[in-house]
């Protein structure tokens, strides 16, 4: 087998006596070959920064399937006509209870899904020299290949997966920027995602008891981030995760998974498998939807296990408010609040919201400087005053800046939204 790791980078492999995580991570990043590169080099032990604590590795899925816990599967056939109210009801129930559902008979041809998965696999399995050209951690790059977006800044263990991401604006991004390996597939897939978004946005609006164009009228899903993951077989699958437990910061995510399995969703204290179904798409409610629906629809934790044999591919399409309008404020939808059901979260905009999600809570300075750059009118004193005047102290529960109010430890809400702290 070809040895793909430059010898200078060997330091990220274990040397118990002088282990320096920062150095190890940096050396690994410099290979630009991701976990696939590690596997190709023939490692039999995973680097220490991929090892997750044992309490995060509990596998309770068999227990949950005994209990009959199953993410709902919704048949979308005739959802435009006589089955509409049935489908809307099922979406409402699934979004309130699970925050997840699988869609079948949704109208996207299976061949489009299979071609996309095959294209993602081709990209990740090609020679690393070609992939390396796309390797970047710069979010300004609309197409970038990387291993763990937060690898260099997070204190959390790394995930056993590589990713290529595409940032679209209402489905638009110059296809010349896409890797040739699966240019056609990406173009075709995103066209279908845009169509599917329209369908879902109407159905979800109705499931919330609103007119069908409500979500589209508030322009909360204009940006799409398509992330194409590859989870290689892992020599020590009991020590690491493909994706650590997290909630998506999006409004909504549409996920395509191949037939390997491994995705699990939190149902109270259990992890429930989301079994692969040929031709199905998984939909999940993200944090931003939970915010605007005032907790009616739930953003639920999920994770991905890795296997010893066989690699897994998946494609997540995250929908966000337009990044062209990233300071537009969003709060609880007024039709969904009342004197008995006050807003739980204060208003926020997508720039601030994503900054929270991406930054460590222990880095309030970084958050603040980012906010100052993007939001020059930010006045902390004013915000503290506004907060102290709010009727409902709970309003600050999730989206207040970590250093703007003297919270005690348990009240620092950012922790709710950062996978490293949950």
Nearest to 420 by CA among 162, 246, 230: 246
Q: Which stretch binds ligand AKG (CB under 6 A): 62-70, 100-108, 186-194, 255-263?
A: 255-263
Three-state DSSP class for 272?
strand
Q: Give least dist CB 318 to Fe ion, A.
A: 8
Enter the tokens of residue 391.
């009727």
Beta strands in 111-191 (DSSP E): 143-146, 162-169
Work out which of 25, 147, 252, 255 binds ligand AKG, going by CB under 6 A: 255
Q: Which of ligand AKG, Fe ion, none is residue 317 near (CB under 5 to 8 Å by kind)?
A: none
Kindly identify the residues of this chain, within the stretch 284-343, that bind ligand AKG according to CB under 6 A. Answer: 302, 304, 314, 316
Q: Is the dihedral of CA 321, 373, 355, 163 positive or negative?
A: positive
Q: Is 150 in the site for Fe ion (CB under 5 A)?
A: no
Q: Give least dist CB 395 to Fe ion, A.
A: 27
Nearer to Fe ion, 148 or 181 (CB): 148
Judge contact between 283 and 103, C-beta under 8 A.
Answer: yes
Judge contact between 233 and 269, C-beta under 8 A.
Answer: no
Cross-strand pairs, 304:
243, 263
Query: HSE-up of 341 (CA within 13 Å, CB side)?
Result: 12
Q: Give least dist CB 114 to Fe ion, A.
A: 22
Q: Give least dist CB 278 to ligand AKG, A.
A: 16
Per-residue x/- mask for Fe ion, residues 233 to 272, rule CB under 5 A? Answer: ---------------x------------------------
Three-state DSSP class for 366?
helix
- Tokens 């009616």 sit on residue: 296
∠ CA 239-303-64, rounded to 5°:
95
Q: CA-to-CA distance for 17 and 144, rounded, in angstroms?
A: 35
Judge contact between 220 and 288, C-beta under 8 A.
Answer: yes
Q: CA-to-CA distance for 83 and 201, rounded, in angstroms?
A: 17
Q: Is 287 in the site for Fe ion (CB under 5 A)?
A: no
Q: Is 248 in the site for ligand AKG (CB under 6 A)?
A: yes
Alpha carbon of 186 to those of 65, 69, 138, 148: distances in Å?
35, 34, 21, 21
Nearer to ligand AKG, 27 or 243 (CB): 243
Nearer to ligand AKG, 162 or 352 (CB): 162
Q: Give least dist CB 247 to Fe ion, A.
A: 7
Q: Give least dist CB 253 to Fe ion, A.
A: 6
Nearer to ligand AKG, 103 or 243 (CB): 243
Kindly identify the residues of this chain, within the stretch 215-244, that bind ligand AKG according to CB under 6 A. Answer: 227, 229, 243
Q: Give least dist CB 419 to Fe ion, A.
A: 10
Nearer to ligand AKG, 27 or 255 (CB): 255
Phi, psi values for residue 208, rounded to 5°: -90, 0
Site residues, Fe ion (CB under 5 A): 248
Site residues, ligand AKG (CB under 6 A): 227, 229, 243, 248, 255, 257, 263, 302, 304, 314, 316
């Amino acid at each position: 087998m070809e040895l793909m790791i430059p010898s200078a980078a060997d330091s990220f492999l274990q040397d118990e006596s002088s282990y320096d995580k920062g150095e190890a991570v940096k050396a690994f990043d410099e290979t630009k070959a991701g976990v696939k590169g590690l596997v190709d080099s023939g490692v039999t032990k995973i680097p220490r920064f991929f090892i997750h604590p044992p309490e995060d590795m509990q596998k309770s899925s068999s227990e949950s399937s005994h209990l009959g816990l199953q993410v709902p599967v919704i048949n979308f056939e005739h959802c435009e006509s006589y089955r509409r109210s049935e489908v809307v009801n099922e979406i409402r129930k699934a979004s309130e209870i699970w925050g997840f559902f699988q869609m079948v008979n949704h109208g996207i041809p299976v061949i489009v899904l299979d071609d996309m998965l095959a294209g993602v696999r081709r990209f990740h399995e090609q020679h690393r020299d070609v992939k390396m050209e796309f390797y970047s951690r710069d979010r300004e790059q609309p197409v970038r290949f990387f291993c763990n977006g937060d690898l260099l800044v997070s204190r959390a263990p790394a995930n056993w997966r590589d990713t290529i991401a595409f940032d679209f604006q209402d489905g638009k991004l110059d296809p010349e920027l896409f890797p040739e390996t699966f240019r056609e597939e990406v173009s075709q897939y995103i066209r279908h995602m845009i169509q599917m978004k329209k369908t879902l946005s109407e159905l979800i609006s109705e499931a919330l008891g609103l007119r069908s164009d409500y979500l589209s009228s508030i322009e909360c899903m204009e940006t799409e981030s398509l992330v194409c993951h590859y989870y290689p077989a892992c020599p020590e699958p009991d020590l690491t995760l493909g994706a650590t437990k997290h909630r998506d910061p999006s409004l909504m995510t549409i996920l395509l998974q191949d037939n390997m399995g491994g995705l699990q969703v939190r149902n109270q204290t259990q992890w429930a498998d989301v079994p692969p179904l040929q031709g199905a798409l998984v939909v999940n409610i993200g944090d931003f939807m939970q915010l605007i629906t005032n907790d009616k629809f739930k953003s639920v934790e999920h994770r991905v296990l890795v296997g010893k044999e066989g690699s897994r591919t998946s494609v997540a399409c995250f929908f966000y408010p337009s990044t062209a309008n990233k300071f537009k404020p969003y709060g609880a939808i007024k039709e969904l609040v009342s004197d008995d059901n006050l807003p739980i979260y204060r208003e926020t905009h997508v720039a601030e919201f994503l900054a929270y999600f991406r930054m460590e809570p222990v880095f309030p300075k970084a958050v603040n400087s980012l906010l100052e750059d993007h939001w020059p009118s930010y006045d902390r004193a004013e915000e503290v005053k506004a907060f102290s005047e709010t009727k409902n102290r709970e309003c600050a529960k999730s989206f207040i800046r970590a250093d703007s109010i003297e919270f005690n430890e348990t009240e620092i809400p950012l922790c709710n939204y950062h996978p490293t702290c949950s």
